[in-house]
Amino acid sequence: MKPNLSWKKIKGWSLFLPVVALLLVMMVNIVYDAVNGNNPLSFFVITLQQTTSNGTILYGRIIDILNRGSEAAILAIGMTLVVSSSAGTDISVGSVMSLCASFCCMLLAGYGVSSTTTLAVPLIVGVLGGLLMGAVCGMFNGTLVAYFRIQPMVATLILFSAARAIGLLLCNDLIVYVRNPSYAAFGAFMGIFPTPFVITAICVAITMVILKKSALGMYIQSVGINDKASRIAGLNSKRIIFLTYVICGLFAGIAGIVNSSRITSADSNNIGLYLEMDAILAVALGGNSLGGGKFNLAGSIIGAYTIQAITTTLYALGVSAAQAPVFKAVIVILIVAIQSEPVRNFFKKQSAAKHVKGVA
Amino acid sequence: MKNGKVRLNGHTILLLITIALFVVLYASGCIVYGSKGFTHLQTFCNILITNAGLICVACGLTCVMLTAGIDISVGALIAMDCMMLAVGMQKGIGAVPMIILVLIVGVVFGAFQGYLVGYLGIQPFIVTMAGMFFCRGMTAVICTDQVSITEKINPTFYKWANTKVVIPFGGYVNNKGKYLAPYVRPGVIVALLVLVVIFIMLRNTKFGRSLYAVGGNAQSATMMGLNVKMIRMKAHILSSVLCSIGGICYCLNTMAGSVSQATGLEMDAISSAVIGGTLLTGGVGNVFGTFFGVLINGTISSIVKTNGKLASSWPNILTAALLFVFIVIQSAFAAIRERSKK
């Protein structure tokens, strides 16, 4: 009986799903390397490497995943809160990312300039402008969802289709290049660590501290579980839902600036394309219910990096970028199908039947 | 609807606003760009030709939205349909077998999505998002290049695409003194047929009425003895099949298959349905309004195109602004209704 009990404990652990998924991805990598005659553990090897542009940096597949998965991880923080409080998803984050990046680059380069090496305004103004734009977008979504009581997916659909277009308009239909080392710093390396990863870590740390030290985390969950009961208990449900959308927009702004800094330009059509799907997938993969309520931030972050690990692995296996979505789709369906009520009931019945047999 | 009088409630007002908006938009287009040929009947026909696929898709989507669901896989499914048609014809398969194959794929795909939504109870948004990923990826698996259908590859399909269905009135004489009669393509005829059939189905058949019942209140529908799960699944099958028909119309218009085709079409279709008065909470709406939603979208892009100086992103922004206005009006009506109930 004892091993059964501990297995149950493991299964009940909140990070069970994301960790298992991550382990599975690692297994695939190990097997693939072993079959091809490489060092089976080459997935985990991290070395120091000299580069001409960034000096000495850490190098390895894990570092690459941590670096490239940063945007999705940053988005996943905000998305987790939004899903928890309003039982809906913010599908505009990818477009808002693009808008924030465009606005930031437009401020830095000046309107109508397509390529610049000198900054028109101090760097901090541009970055704060981008972040402010993200917060404004979040406020727009939040107002519609919290105060107009519109379904989250529909409310965010407006910015989903408009934000990218507004960004393009701000950039005068051009791709604005800001080829300045101070702007490129957000997407480069800080010491030996990739800066995007450092930014993600800071974002996660701040959010975690705020959620743990103040009652905000509990408020968000209680609104998500039952907003009417929370209101009767004295919480301002609407304001809390509104706040989660503003936070989500702000994080979209951060992710947008990181992404545009990586390519030192504001490519409105491609920044954050399909990234909202990755963020939602990260939340689901992190073991969070998309129906709102309790959330697990660590799970979402691990989920985001797992998705990046899956993407990197698929590329390593020779799947092209355009074909990779097929696998993502299969993974999403498997996860949500396992979480669904009828399937869970089916497994419960099975294990109950087994239990009865064992007793008899 | 007693005594043949149309009841003027919130929904009919919304529909009237939509129709009025279309008339105003089109009339202002005629006044401002009359010299650029906006007044010709052909401009209207061109809107229909470009949006024939969208009309079919939006009709299917309206049916799903009536059951309080959503289907965002339609754009990707269209891309997959077009790619299948293009590659299949390049391999030498005839037009008719390929069309039947595309329709079968639509049924299977819809049934799968519908099963997940109806029987496993997964959120439709998540299921169809996965469906969107799947179709987009499969398009790339079939072929990553742009494949065009030329006369050499399939003369039958080419002939269909270039058939002009001439309208006997509304023509004009161009500056070279030649009479030009307005025309539409066969895709438009298909789309209008779909529209009429779905309109009648929603009004007069048991299945059509049950879609409204499920969307209005799934619990009461169950108590009335309706098989809610089955109806949800059927709605998704209907949506995917109509989307496949739309894909064929779309392909007749573009004559090519490529991975990035029809990106964002699902959002056009959703906004058309919402502008046309379909409630996203289900239970209210009809395809007649959706048709006008599509026309409004088409008129906006047509005006921007005729102007020629406006940035290409304006249609997107304007459609989103319209969507915003209509969603807020809907929510206001819902609030008023709730208050009057109390």
Rounded to 5 degrees, what are φ and ψ at A21?
A: -60, -45
CA-CA-CA-CA dihedral for A341, B122, B60, A89, to nearest 10: 150
Residue A1 — pLDDT band, cuts 50, 70, 90?
Answer: very low
State the architecture of B2-28+48-333 in CATH terms. Answer: Orthogonal Bundle (1.10)
* Residue A207 clears pLDDT 80, i.e. is over it: yes
Residue B280: its chain A contacts at CB < 8 A?
151, 154
For residue A133, the model assigns a pLDDT of 96
For residue A5, the model assigns a pLDDT of 57
Residue A154: its chain B contacts at CB < 8 A?
274, 280, 327
For residue A8, the model assigns a pLDDT of 67
Which amino acid is located at A229 in the chain? A
Which is more confident, B121 or A103? Answer: A103
For residue A360, the model assigns a pLDDT of 61
- State the nearest Cα–Cα gap between A288 and chain B, in angstroms: 14
Inter-chain residue contact B313 with A173, CB threshold 8 Å: yes
Inter-chain residue contact A157 with B271, CB threshold 8 Å: yes
Among residues of chain B, what percentage have pLDDT more than 90? Answer: 43
Inter-chain residue contact B327 with A333, CB threshold 8 Å: no
Pairing of strands A115-116, B256-257: unpaired
* Residue B99 clears pLDDT 70, i.e. is over it: yes
For residue B3, the model assigns a pLDDT of 46
For residue A357, the model assigns a pLDDT of 76
Structure tokens at A229: 């009961």
Q: Could you tell me how far CA A194 lies from the centroid of its own chain?
A: 17
Q: Return the number of other C-beta atoms located less than 10 Å from residue B31's C-beta.
A: 10
Inter-chain residue contact A165 with B313, CB threshold 8 Å: yes
- State the nearest Cα–Cα gap between A320 and chain B, in angstroms: 9
Inter-chain residue contact A162 with B270, CB threshold 8 Å: no
Of residues A152, A149, A182, A193, the one with CA closest to residue A257: A182
- Mean confidence (pLDDT) of chain B: 87
Inter-chain residue contact B121 with A342, CB threshold 8 Å: yes
For residue B131, the model assigns a pLDDT of 92
C-alpha–C-alpha distance, residues B342 and B339, integer Å: 5
Identify the bridge partners of residue A194 per DSSP, sorted by sequence position: A189
Structure tokens at B312: 């290409």
C-alpha–C-alpha distance, residues B63 and A69, integer Å: 38
Phi-psi region of B92 (alpha: psi -120 to 50; beta: other; left: phi over 0): left
C-alpha–C-alpha distance, residues A255 and A258, integer Å: 5
Identify the bridge partners of residue A57 per DSSP, sorted by sequence position: A49
Residue A180 — pLDDT band, cuts 50, 70, 90?
Answer: confident
The predicted model scores a pTM of 0.86
Of residues A81, A127, A108, the one with CA closest to residue A246: A81
The predicted-structure confidence for B133-188, as pLDDT tens digits, reads as follows 899 999 999 988 888 888 888 888 888 888 888 888 777 777 777 787 888 889 99
The predicted-structure confidence for A127-171, as pLDDT tens digits, reads as follows 999 999 999 999 999 999 999 888 888 889 889 888 988 998 898
Helices (H), chain A: 2-12, 16-35, 61-68, 70-86, 93-109, 123-142, 152-170, 181-184, 195-213, 216-225, 227-232, 237-262, 275-285, 297-316, 324-339, 341-359
Inter-chain residue contact A329 with B122, CB threshold 8 Å: no
Residue B22 — pLDDT band, cuts 50, 70, 90?
Answer: very high
Q: What is the mean pLDDT of residues A194-215?
A: 93
Close Cβ partners of B305 (under 8 Å, ≥ 6 residues apart): none
The overall longest dimension of chain B from CA atoms, in Å, is 68
- Mean confidence (pLDDT) of chain A: 87
ipTM, interface predicted TM-score of the complex: 0.81
Domain ranges of chain B: 2-28+48-333
Q: What is the mean pLDDT of residues A312-317?
A: 85
* Residue A260 clears pLDDT 70, i.e. is over it: yes
- State the nearest Cα–Cα gap between A61 and chain B, in angstroms: 24
Residue B10 — pLDDT band, cuts 50, 70, 90?
Answer: low
Q: What is the mean pLDDT of residues A310-330?
A: 85
Domain ranges of chain A: 2-318
* Side-chain-side CA neighbours of residue A113 (13 Å): 19
Inter-chain residue contact A328 with B133, CB threshold 8 Å: yes
For residue B205, the model assigns a pLDDT of 93
For residue B4, the model assigns a pLDDT of 46
Nearest CA in chain B to A284: B126
Which is more confident, B151 or B213? Answer: B213
Residue B275: its chain A contacts at CB < 8 A?
none
Which is more confident, B256 or A42? Answer: B256
Inter-chain residue contact B129 with A150, CB threshold 8 Å: no
For residue A11, the model assigns a pLDDT of 67
Q: Which of B65, B112, B125, B146 is the best mutation test for A, with the most CBs of A within 10 A?
A: B125
CA-CA-CA-CA dihedral for B204, B207, B208, B210, to nearest 10: 120
* Residue B7 clears pLDDT 50, i.e. is over it: yes
Identify the bridge partners of residue B183 per DSSP, sorted by sequence position: B166
Identify the bridge partners of residue B193 per DSSP, sorted by sequence position: none
* Residue B110 clears pLDDT 90, i.e. is over it: yes
C-alpha–C-alpha distance, residues A287 and B50, integer Å: 43
The predicted-structure confidence for A90-108, as pLDDT tens digits, reads as follows 989 999 999 999 999 999 9
Structure tokens at B90: 């390049």
Residue A99: its chain B contacts at CB < 8 A?
none
Residue with tokens 């791709």: A175
Residue B131: its chain A contacts at CB < 8 A?
329
For residue B290, the model assigns a pLDDT of 93
C-alpha–C-alpha distance, residues B33 and A71, integer Å: 45
Rounded to 5 degrees, what are φ and ψ at B56?
A: -60, -50
C-alpha–C-alpha distance, residues A75 and A224, integer Å: 19
Q: CA A163, A169, A175, A179 torsion: positive or negative?
A: negative
Q: Which of B265, B316, B322, B336 is the best mutation test for A, with the most CBs of A within 10 A?
A: B316
* Residue A4 clears pLDDT 60, i.e. is over it: no
State the architecture of A2-318 in CATH terms. Answer: Orthogonal Bundle (1.10)
